[in-house]
Amino acid sequence: MGRRIGTQTVEIESKPRIIGTYNIVGPKEGQGPLKEYFDKILEDDLNGTESFEKAETSLLYTAISESIKKAKLKEVDINYLLAGDLLNQLSSSCFAARDLNIPFIGLYGACSTMAESLSVGSMIMEGGLANYVVAATSSHFSAAERQFRLPLEMGSQRAPTAQWTVTGAGAMVLGKKGNFPYVTHVTTGKVKDYGIIDVNNMGVAMAPAAVDTIKQHFMDTGRKPSDYDIIATGDLGIIGREFTEKLLLEYKYDMKGHYMDCGEKIFEAERQGTNAGGSGCGCSAVVATGYLLKNMLKGKFKRILLVSTGALLSPTSCLQGETIPGIAHAVSIEFGGE
């Protein structure tokens, strides 16, 4: 049975394995530097549907059903589907789950959903309550823009700190057996809000949460940055990543050489016009199921820490002058280390 260590971390002793993954991305992500790590790249970001919301649902559905196929399982074998997205009332997840024959729990953690669903899934597995769990999430640039920002064809300038929502979905199937990467620790983050109001500066708004969760993970486990081959935050972007590095130095944790940000890595900011980098639930989902886990299977990484970060704002809260709260969850994954 797992046990609590420190104040926010759970050690997962049963080592739930990530036995199947699948990711699917839009055309812009497919032109980015990580293109070789994606299972499917769409040519049309509508994916043959009539709206961006429906497209996102189809992305998530594809990611979930294909990940189950890759794990050589059927829908009925899965005990829980844990999924979430950015749209109101978790529409993409609910509508994808409508077509799946799997008990469903919807999670909202904004862009932190990949680590959140993987955390909860691992804990369910650790409790012996399921044989197989699917953790999944998605986001879609155009659907998110519609909900949170201005119309697509509106001629306006993007701030240098603005980020580009990733169009993509990623899913992981957790199982008990097999030679696959496995989850060892879960650190659940606290909501941190250092008073950022600018909705075009979300990476910076989320950085305090990332700093707090990473620091707490190190304190709880007694580990340090060099114990990890790579620590990957979800979507802080270029500026948020710099902030996180500098703030962790205050706690005397030097991240140099062991740290990347999925949002910074997924696009080539200059060439693709994405300013501070990628964001969205799909960002850490497709980078984790792509670049991170595929490199683990190849043996390049033995131990990673996935820290998905979320900005917990709503279009209403920012119009009412509220600041932007952030959250970050960390999941430690190992493979072939022993």
Partner 1 sequence: MKVEEKTIRKKFEKLNSDNIPKPNLLLHCFNSFWVGGLICVIGQFISDIFSKMGIPKDELGTYVSIVMVFLGAVLTGIGVYDKLGDFAGAGSVVPITGFANSIVSPAMEFKKEGFVFGVAAKMFTIAGPVLVYGIGSSVIVGILYYFLRW
**Among 68, 166, 196, 255, interactor with partner 1 by CB under 8 A:** 196
CB 175 within 8 A of CB 121: no
Residues in binding contact with partner 1, number by CB under 8 A: 34
Q: Select from 15, 40, 69, 146 the one that contacts partner 1 (CB under 8 A).
A: 146
Per CB under 8 A, 197 contacts partner 1: no
Burial (CB count <10 Å: 0-12, 13-18, 19+), residue 108: middle
In the complex, minimum distance from the CB of residue 194 to partner 1, in angstroms, rounded to a whole number? 5
Q: Which of 50, 177, 270, 321 binds partner 1 (CB under 8 A)?
A: 50
Residue 185 DSSP SS3? strand
Q: Return d(Cα 194, Cα 143) in angstroms, integer.
A: 28
The answer to whether residue 191 forms part of the interface with partner 1 (CB under 8 A) is no
Cα distance between residue 194 and residue 172, in whole Å: 32
State the residue for tokens 């049975």: 1
In the complex, minimum distance from the CB of residue 5 to partner 1, in angstroms, rounded to a whole number: 16
When asked if residue 150 is in the footprint of partner 1 (CB under 8 A), the reply is yes
**Stretch touching partner 1 by CB under 8 A, among 21-29, 149-157, 164-172, 325-333:** 149-157
Residue 194 engages partner 1 in binding (rule: CB under 8 A): yes
Distance CA 221, CA 227 (A): 11
How far apart, in Å, are the Cα atoms of 246 and each of 243, 326, 329?
5, 18, 19
| Residue 250 lies near partner 1 (rule: CB under 8 A) | yes
* By the rule CB under 8 A, 338 interacts with partner 1: no
Tell whether residue 271 is a contact of partner 1 (CB under 8 A): no
DSSP label of 181: -
For the chain, report the end-to-end CA distance as a whole number of angstroms: 21
Q: Which of 207, 266, 286, 305: binder of partner 1 (CB under 8 A)?
A: 207
Choose, by CB under 8 A, the member of 1, 154, 257, 316 that binds partner 1.
Answer: 154
Q: 9, 2, 7, 5: which is closest to 186 by C-alpha?
A: 9
Q: Is 201 in the site for partner 1 (CB under 8 A)?
A: yes
Instruction: Give the pairing of strands 133-139 and 303-311.
Output: unpaired
Contact range with partner 1 by CB under 8 A, out of 118-126, 153-161, 172-180, 299-307: 153-161
Calpha distance 225→149 (Å, rounded): 36
The residues that touch partner 1, with contacts defined as CB under 8 A, are 50-51, 53, 146, 150-161, 194-196, 201, 204, 207-208, 211-212, 219, 239, 242-243, 246-247, 250-252
